[in-house]
Amino acid sequence: MAILETVLKILLGLLGLGLVVFVHELGHFLVARIVGIEVEAFCIGWGKTILKKKIGAVEYRLAIFPVGGYCKMRGEDEFKAAHEDQEIKPVKGTYYGASPWRRILVSLAGPLFNLLFAVLVLSVIWGIGFEVNTLENRIILASDIDEDSSYPATLAGLETGDRIIAIDGRATEHYHDVQEAIAPYADKDLRITVEREGEILDYRLRPVLDKTSGAGKIGVYFWTDPVIATVNPGSPAALAGLLPGDRLLSANGVELPYSAALYSVLEAQPPELALEYEREGRTERAELALSYNEAGETGLGISYQMLRYRTPRYTLWGALVKGAEETWQTLTVSLRSLALLFKGIDLTQAVSGPVRITYMVGDAAAAGFEQSLGMGILSMAEFLALISVALGVMNLLPLPVLDGGMVVLFIVELIKGRPLGPRTRYAFQTLGVVLIFGLMALAVFGDILFLVRR
């Protein structure tokens, strides 16, 4: 069953990632034709072509692997003649026959279409409204769980039970708001406003960098009452007779005022878990037999009740504005995240390759579909908007092979007033291939570790 679920997630992820790449290549394709560059082939996917049809001067292709794709423009690969030291003769309608500014427009079109796609998707989501499952903005100090007092939240003076109601003046109504306001700002001073027993207090703290995820963290968990929402069939909880609606009271004699308190009990890896819980006003007891994986992790097979609310439905203009705002916010966060690559993070954990991205897209969709068809579509759409922005940002990096690298070449050509020599172009592209394949190898290695750990 687990294998089938993984296959389903990968298939969903392939469809989603294929759509994002299609949008990117469509941008190159449309703008190339607009500025007068002839397109020889437009392909979705990589590998052997399984379907193709020529319409006009363009051959449309579908390849066997539905991730990736390309837009092949006439004369685009002429730099390969560099080893013969031949000059590239400009020919009307070819890639290098077009002026540098036209090629710049074509290179920028892919990332631009990715950003427009994200705006469109997010605008549709905000236009129809959606339900959100989230946690409270009420916190639990991590130091109360693992007794480590070095966390920023603990050092700043925050307390378990505080509600984080604003960060740097920005309101934070739910856990998701708090996470968005902290994760991108490792090593930056933040003003945290909390509500404690009716009193409003301000604190200053600096999130530390989590070198595994690349995100900033302050050392808090978010409050969840230990009330069971779901029980997985065949899990230790199901075998012990636990049911949705049961409220956990204690575990191995340790009181559970919130669900996170169970972590400290399980950290000792007890072979059995003695639970006291409340059901319909009665106190009951259950014994769970536990097993652990190589990482020392176990699963009880339960989830806890979360908050659910529905967002308002925006007007057409309001939805477009909201979609643009969220896309801009995602874009700025993506740019800040790039700087973290040089701060000693674990690249095998924080840098995702195509396998992990595909899995995560499918996982987000599958988790949503478990709740409803609408939630599944919503979850996948939100994740695709995020991936689309990330793909656009990545392609704008001034690295050879990427769109940003090509823009750099063409700007140099504009400044010099003449094309760069083919040997220079070939060397630039070769360097890019080495860099990109090196990064891809690192990402794929991390992807393999990710799947093995799961």
Superfamily of domain 139-222: PDZ domain (2.30.42.10)
CATH code, residues 234-292? 2.30.42.10
For residues 169 and 166, give the distance between their C-alpha atoms in angstroms, rounded to a whole number: 6
Start-end of H helices in 267-372 = 316-340, 347-350, 354-371
The share of the chain scoring above pLDDT 90, in percent, equals: 28
> Which residues in 215-251 are b (16+ Cβ under 10 Å) and which e?
bbbbbbbbbbebebeebeeebbbbebebeeebebbbb
Displacement of CA 11 from its chain's centroid (Å): 17
Give percent of the chain with pLDDT exceeding 70.
74
Q: What residue segments make up the domains of the chain, in order of their start?
A: 2-126+384-453, 139-222, 234-292
Q: Which amino acid is at 396?
A: L
Residues 6+ apart with CB under 8 A from 327: 115, 118, 119, 122, 385, 389
Q: Which residues 6+ apart lie within 8 Å of 424 measured at CB?
A: none
Residue 413 has what pLDDT? 84
411-439 pLDDT per residue, tens? 988 888 776 666 666 666 666 555 555 55
Bigger pLDDT: 451 or 228? Answer: 228
Per DSSP, the residues of 262-291 read HHHHHTT--SEEEEEEEETTEEEEEEEE--
Assess whether the region 139-222 and the region 234-292 belong to the same CATH fold. yes
Span 18-47, pLDDT tens digits: 788 889 999 999 999 999 999 999 998 878
Q: What per-residue confidence (pLDDT) applies to 119?
A: 93
440: how many CB neighbours lie within 10 A of its CB? 14
Edge-first strand order for the sheet with 170-171 is: 170-171, 163-167, 190-196, 199-205
